[in-house]
Amino acid sequence: MINPSEIASLVKLLDDPDQEIFNHVHEKLFSYGAEVVSHLEAAWESAFDPVLQERIAGLVHEIQFSSLKNDLKLWCQSGSFDLLRGALIMNKYQYPDLDEQKVINEIEAIKRDIWLQMLYESSAVEKIKLMNHVFYNIYGFSGNTANHQDPQNSYLSQVMEMKKGNQISLAVIYSVIAQKLDIPVFGVNLPQHFILAYVDESIQPEVENGILFYINTFNKGFIFGKRDVDMFLKQLNLKPEKQYYEPCSNLDIIKRIIRNLISSYENSGLTEKVEELTELLMIVSEEHPHS
């Protein structure tokens, strides 16, 4: 158990000019982990010395980042089955106090609204058209074309709030909802684009890999075929490799989110964030080195 008076005494020493004392106090407070954060935040609010405030804020970030790295490692090691969980862990990079349940409840509400209108004998295309109607027309989601490089496009909580996102965040929300409804829609890691595939294993071998069609969540859930993917790759002068057509892993999706964030923060010149996100990318890559 944390002793509040001991924490208060340690915090007072955080602005000690003696580097050795500062290092010792810093390490001691860091060792308490996440449960000391609320005490540190309270101390920050009552501190008037800017050096002390800066040191408290820095320590809080270090503790939260360390906790995030552990969560990400555990998610990878446990098989990375829950895509939503992986995306919410990444959300906590920028929003450590994220109310995860709020995001989950919002996703459940959209799922419920689709489910209430869904007829079980609907064809695959009909199901997607109904999803599109609820997701884009009723809830008002759209691709953020005006400010595509904004890092907020990669954080689910912000996308749920603003109803705008990039290709991957919209695809994550869309596919999570689809899978909750037993609609087999999965992410496809196209270069410079991220799309979804509708996979029906029961119709192999008539349809290659069971992929009936593709969905562009950035463009109002537009449905298209393999030929369009061929054309897109041709425009990019890329060979039509298998990985550009088939569903990718949840690890690949989280990697793509991290890479998008790195690119956004590089554009803004935020090198500290770029370094931290590169660390997170290494955690995910170590768990799945071949993708």
| pLDDT tens figures, 210-244 | 899 999 999 999 999 999 999 999 999 999 888 99
| pLDDT tens figures, 52-108 | 888 889 999 999 999 999 999 999 999 999 999 999 999 999 999 999 999 999 999
Of residues 2 and 285, more confidently modeled: 285
User: How far is 139 from 220, CA to CA, in rounded Å?
Assistant: 12
The overall average pLDDT reported for the chain is 91
Domain coordinates in residue numbering, the chain: 4-77, 83-287
* pTM exceeds cut of 0.85: yes
User: How far is 280 from 285, CA to CA, in rounded Å?
Assistant: 9
User: How far is 288 from 189, CA to CA, in rounded Å?
Assistant: 15
Q: In the chain, pLDDT over 90 holds for what percent of residues?
A: 69
- Contact of 252 with 209, CB cutoff 8 Å: no
Contacts 24+ apart (CB under 8 A), 123-132: 124/198, 124/200, 124/212, 124/213, 125/213, 125/223, 127/181, 127/183, 128/183, 128/185, 128/198, 128/215, 128/221, 128/223, 129/221, 131/174, 131/177, 131/178, 131/181, 131/183, 131/221, 132/220, 132/221
